[in-house]
A and B are shown apart, each in its own frame.
Chain A
Amino acid sequence: GAGVSQSPSNKVTEKGKDVELRCDPISGHTALYWYRQSLGQGLEFLIYFQGNSAPDKSGLPSDRFSAERTGGSVSTLTIQRTQQEDSAVYLCASSFQQGDAQYFGPGTRLTVL
Chain B
Amino acid sequence: EDQVTQSPEALRLQEGESSSLNCSYTVSGLRGLFWYRQDPGKGPEFLFTLYSAGEEKEKERLKATLTKKESFLHITAPKPEDSATYLCAVQDHNQGGKLIFGQGTELSVKP
A101 to B46, CA, bound (A): 7
A33 to B44, CA, bound (A): 13
Total B residues in contact with A, Cβ cutoff 8 Å: 23
**Complex interface: stretch among B18-26, B75-83, B97-105:** B97-105
**Residue from B32, B42, B99 having most chain A Cβ neighbours under 10 A:** B99
Q: Which residues of A contact B103 (CB under 8 A)?
A: 42
What class of interface size applies to chain A in its complex with B?
20 to 34
A42-B102, A42-B104, A43-B87 known; A98 vs B97 contact (CB < 8 Å): yes
**Judging by beta carbons under 8 Å apart, are A99 and B31 in contact?**
yes
If over half of A's interface residues share one DSSP class (helix, strand or loop), that class is named, otherwise mixed; here it is strand
Is A91 an interface residue when CB atoms closer than 8 A count as contact? Answer: yes
Q: Which residues of A contact B101 (CB under 8 A)?
A: 42-44
**Judging by beta carbons under 8 Å apart, are A98 and B96 in contact?**
yes
Is B86 an interface residue when CB atoms closer than 8 A count as contact? Answer: no
A22 to B46, CA, bound (A): 21
Interface hits, B67-95 → A, CB 8 Å: 87, 89, 91, 95
**Judging by beta carbons under 8 Å apart, are B44 and A99 in contact?**
no
A-B interface, 6 closest residue pairs, ranked by CB to CB distance from nearest:
A104-B43, A98-B97, A43-B101, A45-B98, A56-B96, A104-B44
